[in-house]
């Protein structure tokens, strides 16, 4: 197919006088992550005022760390949501991955890297399973991944108990490969005397790569298309099934990554953890401007959403409030964020 | 007054050259349902073939055969004079036959230029091979202005364009990616008078530029404005096949509305 086609259709130009041009400011305002950015600044200022310890660089490092473990997953979940699908199993998939790596290496006496490799295969397979079922059965991903969420939750508990006889996996800290793996997944480095966890770097890197892929590559174009209008995308030759399964597998990959972080920072994995984390990832993506209906959003927005989560999570502690209020704040913020995002879009679109 | 125009046995005069697409006595049955029976038509370069028919007349089945979604069960489909059977829309596209469906196959939330190149993105040649956004923007602007749509900002979501403009973007896309024959499925169906005018103007422009256009519609006024010849379908059969010179708008309208039936109806409804 040639893109060189010379078509000469010299014709009078008609303009629709009802379509008004937008200026730069408006264009900035309707960026999906704009609402969350304003929200993040407001929350930062708020906690900086009410919680003096929040202002220290150490506190910022802690906030960034809390944001990063949510943020890495939120990045993948945001991409999936832009592609028009959900993954409710993303939270327990993290636990599944770290349990798998831990139990496989421990019981087969493998190098931890080999266990991690097998866990990666498993995580990708879970992603593939979710994606394949969604595409094959055409049942909404909400239901498919709700099922796999429940199944994985059960497997995590049952298999861990079956193999190790308790609810947590045995410690892997003295096994081969632990030190090098810990360097990659869970080390710290210091900037100006402040110790920062390496997941923060990974989080920023993942977000940057996802942003590049979304806006500067063919695949990114396809992700927006399959989320915006699947049938249209298929009609112009976008491989819809492959793109969506790929997105589910990317969620699997990120779940593996965060799972490895948990394993190598705590040595042991609690089999019941991570159950309601999938909602946090979705919340971060939605606060960051992803539409629930797909086809709209950014990875940067999801990162800001995760940062808001991290600030609230730690800010409440620094402010000396009862942490029981955390969920309430999170809910209130989500409500505020979606209303604000909506208002921003409508306001900017109308001007 | 009865007005049944007998279909000429063959070829309504149209240029004499080999037609880009020709159907000879094509029929299509779905199980025991006869959707099309004995249809013959030609699409020449630089001409508009209007296919008219009421709901259920078989228009959609007809375009599905030409565009490769379905295969005919009887008769022949000829492309450039050679008998052909398309197994998929892709094969039809490879022969330069592009279909613009009613839903246009655009993604409303995406910018115009991303929609224009969706599935056939331009990439830079250097290593990371990222999208060449500027080239795509510029091409989109110039291709659209060639067809009379002035969009200084192709970064707006295509969903915010008017229906006629969206239609034109979809057509421009088909043209740009190498179509010789454009099949337009009711391009004016959901449009107002002015927007229809934009699309009709573009159909004329495409015709003058040498494309073969198949214009499916149930609006005889629109068909008569741009068509070179007309094929009228009724309940899966070809009722009429004539050129522009052979038929007046009134006649076409009456044929379209079912001739006698319309008169009976207007008699019935007389106040």
Q: What is the pLDDT of residues A126-181, one digit of tens each?
A: 999 999 999 999 999 999 999 999 999 999 999 999 998 888 998 988 888 899 99
User: Could you tell me which chain B residue has the CA closest to the CA of A215?
Assistant: B131
Please, which pLDDT band fits residue B239 given cuts at 50, 70 and 90? confident
Give the whole-number percent of chain B exceeding pLDDT 70.
91
Does residue B146 sit at the A interface (CB-CB below 8 Å)? yes
Segment B104-163, tens digit of pLDDT: 778 888 889 999 998 888 888 887 888 888 889 888 988 888 777 777 778 888 888 877
Please, which pLDDT band fits residue A22 given cuts at 50, 70 and 90? low
Q: How far is CA A154 from the centre of its chain?
A: 23
Determine the pLDDT at residue A205. 96
Which of B105, B176, B198 comes nearest A236 by C-beta?
Answer: B105
Top mean pLDDT of A99-113, B187-201, B257-271 is at A99-113
- DSSP structural state of residue A23: -
The label of the residue with tokens 């396809």 reads: A222
Please, which pLDDT band fits residue A12 given cuts at 50, 70 and 90? very low
Determine the pLDDT at residue A350. 59
Segment B15-29, tens digit of pLDDT: 457 888 888 888 888
Cβ(B40)–Cβ(B25) below 8 Å: yes
Contact A19 B143 (CB under 8 A): no
Q: Which of B107, B182, B207 to mutate to test the interface with A (most CBs of A within 10 A)?
A: B107
User: Could you tell me which chain B residue has the CA closest to the CA of A6?
Assistant: B176
- Dihedral sign for Cα atoms in the order A10, A16, A22, A23: positive
Determine the pLDDT at residue A126. 96
- Residue B248, both tokens: 């007046």
Give mean pLDDT, residues B206-215: 87
> Higher pLDDT residue, A217 or B15?
A217
For chain B, list the domains and their CATH numbers: 21-107+178-265 (3.40.50.300)
Segment A313-342, tens digit of pLDDT: 889 889 888 888 888 888 888 888 888 877
Cβ(A79)–Cβ(A148) below 8 Å: no
Contact A232 B105 (CB under 8 A): yes
Segment A33-80, tens digit of pLDDT: 888 888 899 999 999 999 988 889 999 999 999 999 999 999 999 999
The label of the residue with tokens 């522009």 reads: B244
Tally Cβ neighbours within 10 Å of residue A288. 33
Contact A216 B131 (CB under 8 A): yes
Q: pTM, whole model, 2 decimals?
A: 0.82
Q: Which of A184, A214, A190 is nearest to A202 (CA)?
A: A184
Please, which pLDDT band fits residue A11 given cuts at 50, 70 and 90? very low
Determine the pLDDT at residue B15. 47
Assigned CATH topology for domain A33-350: ABC transporter involved in vitamin B12 uptake, BtuC (1.10.3470)
- Residue B143, both tokens: 């291709």
Residues 6+ apart with CB under 8 A from A325: A316
Distance between CA atoms of residues A92 and B138, nearest Å:
46
Give mean pLDDT, residues A220-249: 91
Helix (H, G, I), strand (E, B) or coil at A316: helix
- Residue A323, both tokens: 């942490």
Cβ(A236)–Cβ(B105) below 8 Å: yes
- Burial string for B71-91 (b: 16+ CB within 10 Å, else e) reads ebeebebbbeeeebebeebee
Q: Is the ipTM of this complex over 0.85?
A: no
Residues 6+ apart with CB under 8 A from B254: B3, B262
Contact B162 A14 (CB under 8 A): no
- Residue B190, both tokens: 């959901």
- Residue A269, both tokens: 């994995």
Segment A242-291, tens digit of pLDDT: 999 999 999 999 999 999 999 999 989 998 888 889 999 999 999 998 88
Given a cut of 70, whether residue B31 has pLDDT beyond it is yes
Does residue A225 sit at the B interface (CB-CB below 8 Å)? yes
Contact A216 B130 (CB under 8 A): yes
Please, which pLDDT band fits residue B172 given cuts at 50, 70 and 90? confident
Determine the Cα angle at B214 with ends B115 and B196, to 5°.
Answer: 65
- Dihedral sign for Cα atoms in the order A153, A156, A157, A159: positive
- Burial string for A142-166 (b: 16+ CB within 10 Å, else e) reads eebbbebbeebbebbeebbeebbee
Cβ(A7)–Cβ(B143) below 8 Å: yes
Please provide residue B73's backbone torsions phi and psi, each rounded to the nearest 5 degrees: -100, -20
User: Could you tell me which chain A residue has the CA closest to the CA of B100?
Assistant: A235
Segment A298-310, tens digit of pLDDT: 999 999 999 999 9
Given a cut of 70, whether residue B9 has pLDDT beyond it is no
Direct distance between the N- and C-terminal alpha carbons of chain B, in angstroms, rounded to an integer: 21
Determine the pLDDT at residue A144. 95
Q: Which of B271, B252, B254 is nearest to B262 (CA)?
A: B254
- DSSP structural state of residue B44: -
Give mean pLDDT, residues B99-107: 80
Contacts of B133 in chain A (CB under 8 A): 216
Give the whole-number percent of chain B exceeding pLDDT 90.
2
Q: What is the largest CA-CA distance in chain B?
A: 76
Does residue B110 sit at the A interface (CB-CB below 8 Å)? yes
Top mean pLDDT of A24-28, B1-5, B218-222 is at B218-222
Name which of A215-229, B10-24, B154-168, B220-234 the model is least confident about.
B10-24
Q: In the sheet where B21-30 sits, what is the strand order? A: B82-83, B74-79, B21-30, B33-43, B237-243, B229-234, B48-53, B212-217, B181-185, B97-100
Please, which pLDDT band fits residue B258 given cuts at 50, 70 and 90? low
Which of B146, B160, B176 comes nearest A11 by C-beta?
Answer: B146
> Higher pLDDT residue, A10 or B78?
B78
User: Could you tell me which chain B residue has the CA closest to the CA of A240?
Assistant: B119
């Amino acid at each position: 197919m040639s893109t060189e086609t010379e078509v000469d259709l010299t014709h009078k130009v008609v303009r629709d006088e009802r379509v008004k041009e937008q200026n730069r400011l408006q264009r900035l305002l309707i960026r999906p992550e704009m609402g969350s950015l304003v929200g993040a600044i407001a929350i930062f200022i708020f906690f900086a005022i009410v919680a003096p310890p929040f202002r220290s660089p150490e506190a910022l490092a802690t906030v960034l760390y809390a944001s990063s473990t949510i943020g890495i997953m939120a990045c993948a979940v945001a991409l999936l949501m832009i592609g028009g699908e959900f993954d409710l199993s993303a939270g327990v998939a993290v636990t599944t991955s770290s349990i798998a790596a831990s139990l496989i290496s421990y019981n087969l006496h493998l190098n931890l890297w080999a266990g991690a490799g097998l866990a990666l295969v498993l995580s990708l397979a879970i992603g593939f399973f979710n994606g394949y079922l969604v595409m094959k059965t055409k049942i909404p991903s909400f239901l498919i991944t709700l099922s796999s969420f429940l199944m994985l939750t059960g497997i995590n508990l049952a298999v861990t108990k079956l193999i190790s006889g308790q609810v947590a996996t045995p410690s892997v800290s003295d096994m081969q490969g632990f030190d090098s793996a810990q360097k990659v997944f869970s080390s710290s480095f210091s900037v100006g005397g402040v110790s920062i966890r390496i997941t923060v770097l990974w989080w920023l890197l993942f977000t940057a790569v996802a942003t590049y892929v979304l806006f500067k590559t063919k695949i990114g174009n396809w992700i927006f298309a399959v989320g915006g209008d699947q049938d249209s995308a298929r009609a112009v030759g976008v491989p819809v099934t492959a793109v969506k399964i790929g997105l589910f597998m990317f969620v699997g990959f990120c779940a593996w990554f965060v799972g490895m972080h948990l394993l190598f920072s705590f040595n042991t994995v609690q089999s019941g953890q991570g159950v309601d984390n999938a909602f946090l990832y979705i919340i971060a993506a939605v606060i960051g401007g992803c539409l629930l209906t797909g086809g709209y959003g950014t990875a940067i927005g999801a990162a800001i959403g995760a940062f808001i989560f991290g600030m609230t999570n730690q800010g409440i502690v620094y402010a000396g409030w009862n942490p029981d209020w955390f969920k309430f704040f999170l809910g209130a913020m989500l409500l505020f964020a979606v209303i604000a995002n909506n208002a921003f879009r409508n306001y900017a679109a109308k001007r | 007054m009865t007005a049944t125009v007998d279909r000429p046995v063959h070829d309504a005069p149209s240029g004499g050259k080999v037609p880009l697409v020709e159907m000879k006595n094509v029929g299509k049955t779905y199980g025991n349902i006869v959707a099309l029976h004995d249809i013959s038509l030609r699409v020449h370069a630089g001409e508009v073939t209007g296919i008219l028919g009421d709901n259920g007349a078989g228009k959609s089945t007809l375009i599905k055969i030409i565009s490769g979604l379905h295969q005919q069960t009887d008769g022949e489909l000829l492309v450039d004079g050679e008998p052909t059977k398309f197994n998929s829309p892709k094969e039809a596209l490879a022969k330069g036959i592009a279909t613009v469906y009613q839903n246009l196959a655009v993604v409303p939330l995406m910018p115009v230029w991303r929609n224009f190149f969706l599935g056939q993105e331009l990439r830079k040649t250097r290593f990371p091979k990222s999208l060449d956004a500027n080239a795509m923007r510029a091409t989109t602007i110039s291709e659209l202005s060639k067809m009379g749509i002035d969009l200084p900002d192709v970064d707006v979501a295509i969903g915010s364009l008017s229906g006629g403009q969206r239609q034109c973007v979809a057509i421009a896309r088909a043209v740009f990616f190498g179509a010789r024959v454009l099949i337009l499925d009711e391009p004016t169906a959901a449009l107002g008078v002015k927007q229809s005018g934009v699309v009709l103007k573009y159909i004329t422009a495409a015709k003058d530029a040498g494309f073969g256009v198949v214009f499916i519609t149930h609006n005889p006024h629109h068909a008569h404005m741009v068509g070179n010849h007309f094929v009228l379908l009724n309940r899966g059969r070809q009722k009429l096949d004539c050129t522009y010179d052979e038929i007046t708008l009134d006649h076409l309208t009456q044929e379209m509305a079912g001739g006698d039936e319309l008169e009976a109806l207007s008699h019935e409804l007389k106040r």
